[in-house]
Structure 1
């Protein structure tokens, strides 16, 4: 995978979406530009420096990085079954590249069933809309479908 041992360890800029609340659960999206796996790890590390985010029930994430060999993508459900794959699927449909999206869920004690996926996707959409403000030249979000990289999809 793409790692750059020569690279300086500067933290990518992280933007945060508005919160979405439903039956005492709260969801928030976070987005940052990434060009390699080290960036993804750094974003996760930086987010977890915030005790509220660290103590959340789930920090589900997905990333897509465009490189010379195609698009490398992956996700982590962080215990919320199928949430990471839904985030990645939306990123694919929106043709988002060179970004990581993390959706944090603070569980409110009430099961909300499949509605949680609607909130994960809404937080992802908000975060990707914010990604247009990122100054990283490599961060791209085009609100269109593309099957160009379908064969390159790699899931965990």
Structure 2
């Protein structure tokens, strides 16, 4: 599991990004369960994720952050990254970010893809 904590902060909200290779929907469930074993991720406001499965197509979940998973999915498709889940975690800081939250999702996924390219 590759994890980047504190990708950015904005008006009290904090963002992190995590990801890794998965095999099918069961692999996605296992990955999310492992991520949420860490108390800070279990208590996060949103754990938004997406994955392009080579045998099952695209799957995603906004986890209450409407539209964010579609942003992650589009970036994974552009990167041609298959069988790899990317989770953007947000701890809500009390101030609505409006459209800026999508820019923060993009920044988080970009940080993950950049780090992945260096591994």
TM (normalized to structure 2)? 0.92
Distance 1:34 1:131, change over 3 A: farther
Query: Structure 1 residue 18: deviation in Å?
Result: 4.3
Q: Normalized per residue, which structure has more strand? A: 2
Provide the residue aligned with 1:127 in structure 2: 112
Runs (5+) with no aligned partner, structure 2: none
Q: State how far apart, in whole Å, the 2-side matches of 1:42 and 1:74 are.
A: 15
TM (normalized to structure 1)? 0.71
Q: State how far apart, in whole Å, the 2-side matches of 1:81 and 1:92 are.
A: 19
SS for the counterpart of 1:74 is strand
Q: Is the 8 A contact 1:32 1:131 kept in 2?
A: no
Moved runs in structure 1, 4+ residues, more than 6 A? none
SS for the counterpart of 2:44 is coil
Give CA-to-partner distance per residue, 1:64-110, whole Å, 9 cap, x none.
1213xxx6111000001100111101111121112000000000001
Provide the residue aligned with 1:57 in structure 2: 45
Q: Highest Rg: 1 or 2? A: 1
SS for the counterpart of 2:101 is helix
Q: Normalized per residue, which structure has more helix? A: 2
Runs (5+) with no aligned partner, structure 1: 1-13, 134-156
Structure 1 vs Structure 2 CA RMSD: 1.3
Aligned pairs, how many? 117
Q: State how far apart, in whole Å, the 2-side matches of 1:73 and 1:130 are.
A: 23
What is the aligned counterpart of 1:76 among 61, 83, 87?
61
Q: Is the 8 A contact 2:53 2:59 kept in 1?
A: no
